């Protein structure tokens, strides 16, 4: 199975936003720069995450993006579905009914065994992604990554986050 590059970008952006101070935001342009992505390309994925309720878009000069809910309540499945959509990765087109020997529909009363196997695998894959929480990914990065990488990521967040204005509602 191949997921789009947008899934990788979305997960990295969500992980970065999980590191913001309470109520702070980060501009989409900064997120794009952090990962060497085109701002217009990334904006499409940030909008999908916002529409799915994973991110919150804050308008205005001090605006940007932040998580819409705590990182422990965001799974990798949430992010994948926001970017890729809810349809299963495998879609059976019933090609077993094609070809030179056409049998009547009554020959195909049982569901396609290949489709059934692929749907079982998809269900297991989705369950595994649902169990992976954004908060755990961030915690693993902070404890297991090269200290230089952690320091660079933390410095980037510190430099580019926009603190919450006094009197603004918190996340």
**pTM above 0.85?**
yes
Give strand pairing partners of 162.
25
- 42: its two tokens: 């990334």
CATH of the domain at 53: 1.10.10.10
Between CA 126 and CA 39 the distance in angstroms is 29
Residue 58 in any domain: the answer is yes
Residue 94 in any domain: the answer is yes
- Give the chain's domain count: 1
Between CA 114 and CA 8 the distance in angstroms is 29
Residue 171 in any domain: the answer is no
The values of phi and psi at residue 162, to 5°, are -110, 110
Q: Which residues constitute the domain of residue 74?
A: 5-160
Is the pLDDT at 171 greater than 80? The verdict is no
Q: What is the mean pLDDT of residues 154-166?
A: 88
Residue 30 in any domain: the answer is yes
Residue 117 in any domain: the answer is yes
**Is residue 10 within 8 Å of residue 17, measured between CB atoms?**
no
Residue 166 in any domain: the answer is no
Residue 169 in any domain: the answer is no
What are 59-109's pLDDT values in tens digits? 988 899 999 999 999 999 999 999 999 998 899 998 988 888 888 989 888
What are 131-151's pLDDT values in tens digits? 999 999 999 999 999 999 999
Give strand pairing partners of 65.
26, 57
Residue 33 in any domain: the answer is yes
| Per-residue pLDDT band at 5 (split at 50, 70, 90) | very high
Torsion of CA 26, 30, 36, 42, to 10 degrees: 60
């Amino acid at each position: 199975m191949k997921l789009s590059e947008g899934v990788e970008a979305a997960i990295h952006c969500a992980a970065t936003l999980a590191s913001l101070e309470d109520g702070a935001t980060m501009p989409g342009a900064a997120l794009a720069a952090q990962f060497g992505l085109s701002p217009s390309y990334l904006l499409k994925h940030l909008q999908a995450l916002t529409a799915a309720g994973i991110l919150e878009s804050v308008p205005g000069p001090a605006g940007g993006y932040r998580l819409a809910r705590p990182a422990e309540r965001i799974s990798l499945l949430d992010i994948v579905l926001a970017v890729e959509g809810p349809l299963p990765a495998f879609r059976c087109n019933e090609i077993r009914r094609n070809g030179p020997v056409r049998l009547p529909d009554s020959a195909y009363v049982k569901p396609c065994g290949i489709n059934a196997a692929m749907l079982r695998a998809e269900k297991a894959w989705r369950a595994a992604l649902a169990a992976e929480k954004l908060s755990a990914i961030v915690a693993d990065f902070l404890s297991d990554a090269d200290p230089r990488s952690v320091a660079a990521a933390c410095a980037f967040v510190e430099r580019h986050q926009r603190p919450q204005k006094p009197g603004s509602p918190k996340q």
